[in-house]
Amino acid sequence: MCTAATYKTKDFYFGRTLDYEFSYGDQIVITPRNYAFNFRHVGDMKNHYAIIGMAHVAEDYPLYYDAMNEKGVAMAGLNFVGNAVYAAIKPDVENIAQFEFIPWILSQCSSLVEVRELLERINIVNTPFSEQLPLAQLHWIISDENESITVESMSDGLHIYDNPVGVLTNNPPFPQQMFQLNNYMYLSPKQPRNTFCENLALDAYSRGMGGLGLPGDLSSSSRFVRVAFTKVNAISGESEEESVSQFFHILGSVDQQRGCCEVADGKYEITLYTSCCNVTKGIYYYNTYENHQISAVDMHVENLDSDKMICYPVIQGERINYQNK
Ligand SMILES: C[C@H](CCC(=O)NCCS(=O)(=O)O)[C@H]1CC[C@H]2[C@@H]3CC[C@@H]4C[C@H](O)CC[C@]4(C)[C@H]3C[C@H](O)[C@]12C
């Protein structure tokens, strides 16, 4: 399971949790403007917008999980198992392998308007990266500071949905996730009034009762509702520290603790990492299950005109700030 969300203060923020029982081995990867992307079916792209994100690197190629570009567009791939179906190669369209989708969009789009145009010509195809890395069944959220969309490639074709709430989890398909929010329209951060029965002396005996009924479990539909409620009500100051801190709290509402979600005998899904892109400034923040401290990589510190990939390892291990020794 995974969860993605957007957040706006002075700057625009986008990020995700990546929940799984093991890591593929990931790094924070920058592909500068002159790194050549050799697309499998549409040829080489020698220059493009610079990209930063979390990726597994194989054969000098960044297999991005989530990333943003220098123009303010961000996107993430989340599991969509049992529903994702990729197409066969077709003539007269842009055939993009599923693992190329993030580079394809982020290398050339400076806004969601441009993303929508590019998506009119795209065919997301079932070409695997390699024998060792077969097709991942994913769907995607793509955002800029003005809007978000969800992209789902299914057996009945490619679906592009407006995503007015700016969050995504896993199954079921996005329209069903949005529909279930109808069931929670009564939730509120305010204390409830007694509309149950005016003759009963009901008492709002605890704070937070306006949210009673918000699902608390780790299923993807429950995480969708929970993170949506948290995100739409979240308030913070506008500074970078206050915004980033608040963003981690929003995704913290759907954090997965080891032991609570068994996926096989003795194997547990956990939140391996949480990311927070400052999409306006090109700074990639993250923390991990084993390291709560927020680390950051700023793309604009690098030579973005280079033709070589730039990689930073994920920093693991808790750093505890002892105050008296
Ligand atoms: C496992 C993750 C989703 C986590 C998740 O949602 N777990 C819940 C399970 S459940 O849905 O709740 O049952 C996903 C998210 C992004 C994926 C990579 C995308 C690039 C690349 C694509 C290639 O084709 C295959 C290898 C590749 C490195 C992919 C590996 C893996 O697939 C990644 C990490």
Considering the domain boundaries, does residue 123 fall inside one? Answer: yes
Cβ burial, residue 35 (10 Å; 0-12/13-18/19+): buried
Instruction: Please indicate whether residue 270, judged by its CB atom, sits closer than 6 Å to ligand 1.
Output: no
Considering the domain boundaries, does residue 20 fall inside one? Answer: yes
3-state SS, residue 134: coil
Closest atom, ligand 1, to C-alpha of 20 = 7
Q: Give me the chain's average pLDDT, please.
A: 97
Closest atom, ligand 1, to C-alpha of 1 = 8
Considering the domain boundaries, does residue 298 fall inside one? Answer: yes
Instruction: Please indicate whether residue 19, judged by its CB atom, sits closer than 6 Å to ligand 1.
Output: yes
Instruction: Please indicate whether residue 294, judged by its CB atom, sits closer than 6 Å to ligand 1.
Output: no
Amino acid present at 196 = F
CA angle 294–298–300, rounded 5-degree value: 170
3-state SS, residue 139: strand
Determine the distance separating the centroid of ligand 1 and the alpha carbon of 17, expressed in angstroms.
12
Amino acid present at 81 = V
Stretch 10-35: mean pLDDT? 97
Alpha-carbon distance of 289 to 273, in angstroms, equals 6
Report ipTM (2 d.p.).
0.94
The pTM score is 0.97
92-121 pLDDT, tens digit per residue, is 999 999 999 999 999 999 999 999 999 999
For ligand 1, mutation pick of 19, 23, 24, 262 (most atoms within 8 Å of CB): 24
What's the confidence (pLDDT) of residue 1? Answer: 61
CB count within 10 Å of CB 275 equals 27
Instruction: Please indicate whether residue 63, judged by its CB atom, sits closer than 6 Å to ligand 1.
Output: yes
CA angle 266–258–169, rounded 5-degree value: 105
Ligand 1, atom 16, lies closest to the CA of 65
Alpha-carbon distance of 24 to 27, in angstroms, equals 10
What's the confidence (pLDDT) of residue 153? Answer: 98
What's the confidence (pLDDT) of residue 238? Answer: 97
The pLDDT confidence band at residue 240, using thresholds 50, 70 and 90, is very high
Percent with pLDDT over 90 in the chain: 99
Ligand 1, atom 21, lies closest to the CA of 63
Ligand 1, atom 22, lies closest to the CA of 99
Residue 204 has pLDDT above 80, yes or no: yes
Determine the distance separating the centroid of ligand 1 and the alpha carbon of 119, expressed in angstroms.
22
Considering the domain boundaries, does residue 181 fall inside one? Answer: no
Give the CATH number of the domain where residue 241 resides.
Answer: 3.60.60.10
What's the confidence (pLDDT) of residue 176? Answer: 98
For ligand 1, mutation pick of 64, 99, 139 (most atoms within 8 Å of CB): 99
Considering the domain boundaries, does residue 252 fall inside one? Answer: yes
Stretch 143-172: mean pLDDT? 98
What's the confidence (pLDDT) of residue 325? Answer: 86
73-85 pLDDT, tens digit per residue, is 999 999 999 999 9
Instruction: Please indicate whether residue 81, judged by its CB atom, sits closer than 6 Å to ligand 1.
Output: yes
84-96 pLDDT, tens digit per residue, is 999 999 999 999 9
282: left (phi over 0), alpha (psi -120 to 50) or beta: left
Considering the domain boundaries, does residue 270 fall inside one? Answer: yes
DSSP-derived secondary structure letter, 149: E
The pLDDT confidence band at residue 28, using thresholds 50, 70 and 90, is very high
Considering the domain boundaries, does residue 205 fall inside one? Answer: no
Determine the distance separating the centroid of ligand 1 and the alpha carbon of 81, expressed in angstroms.
10
Alpha-carbon distance of 64 to 98, in angstroms, equals 11
Q: What is the 3-state secondary structure (H, E, C) of 243-280?
A: HHHHHHHHHHCCCCCCCCCEEECCEECEEEEEEEEECC
Amino acid present at 221 = S
**Active site annotation includes 2:** yes
Closest atom, ligand 1, to C-alpha of 137 = 32
- Per the structure, the count of domains in the chain is 1
Q: Comparing 1-5, 15-19, 158-162, 281-285, which segment has the lowest mean pLDDT?
A: 1-5
Q: Residue 52's domain spans which residues? A: 1-173+235-311
User: Within its chain, how far is the Cα of 210 from the centroid?
Assistant: 28
The pLDDT confidence band at residue 158, using thresholds 50, 70 and 90, is very high
